[in-house]
Amino acid sequence: MDKKIGIIGYGSMGKMILSKFMESKIVPESNIFLSNRTYEKVADLKAIYPLLNICKNNMDAAKNADLLFICVVPSEIKAVLSGIIEGIKDNCHIVSLNGSVLFRQMEQLCTGRKISKVIPSVTAVVNQSLTLVCHNAYVNGNDKSALKALLECFGATIEIPESEMGFGSELTSCMPGFIGAIFKSITNEAAKRTSIDKKDIINMVTKTIYGTGKLLLEMNMTFEQIINIVATKGGITEEGTKIIEKETPRIANALFEKTLEKRKTTTEKAQKDFDVKMQ
């Protein structure tokens, strides 16, 4: 890709994006312009990526970019955009890595600008992210295709409405944590009932999770099909699945109620803070 890419912010998301772009070689090093609030935090990257453009300030990263990734927390988005908007190219495509601040709010600063929001998952590290994407009205088909091509170095992408980015995050970016918590509990309970070494228990469960995922994705099997194959009538697995089907809906309901309540509070605060700073 011959587009010039700007990355503002070198926290967890900025690091991941830069790492995947470099690893995939989808963008030449010399086409990437990186800035961070603390310059010293990124200065040493020159030893690793000699052709990377490490900028002294956000404006230097922004003014060169055809695609500009804003990788900062919600409370910093307004200040970052305010500081760079005068230098951004007219056709620059702005990409926010935070779902909390709305398009209509960013458009107060970036009138008529192309803006997308992107939420990857930690599974991008192994190229298996299902990255959520939404776009404002100024993003055209070519812009979407170019962004999708970039993001595919993380895995697959799915475009959803801005209004669904919150719940979509529960099912993608949050889900590895939920899955980890579930199987941590299962392995802990298993360890109480067997002399098998804990490391072996974890390996058994992990390998089986991985294999089950391949059945779902590569063989196009459904959850129901896998249950029916393994849980034969009157068998041991059937007894276990009955417990899961009875108890899990209550846990899932409580989980989503709590996480969505927290997301609503966090999002409302981010949007209120943005609007206050606009005054």
Task: Report mean pLDDT in 10-residue bins for the chain, 279 residues.
Answer: 92 93 93 93 92 94 96 92 94 93 93 96 92 97 96 95 95 96 97 97 97 96 96 93 95 96 90 73
What DSSP character marks residue 121? Answer: -
Residue 101, SS3 per DSSP? coil
- Residue 252: give the domain boundaries: 175-271
Residues 65 and 143 reside in one and the same domain:
yes
pLDDT (0 to 100) of residue 186: 96
Q: Are residues 19 and 60 in the same domain?
A: yes
Please tell me whether residues 135 and 96 are part of one structural domain: yes
pTM: 0.91
The total number of structural domains that make up the chain: 2
Please give the radius of gyration of the chain, using alpha carbons only, rounded to the nearest integer: 22
In one-letter notation, the amino acid at residue 135 is H
Query: Which CATH number do you get for residue 57?
Result: 3.40.50.720
Does 190 lie in the same domain as 164?
Answer: no
Q: Encoding tokens for residue 192?
A: 């109480």
Beta carbons of 101 and 270 less than 8 angstroms apart: yes
The rounded distance, in Å, linking the Cα atoms of 121 and 156 is 11
Q: Note whether 156 and 185 are same-domain residues.
A: no
Contact (CB, 8 A) for 36 and 96 = no
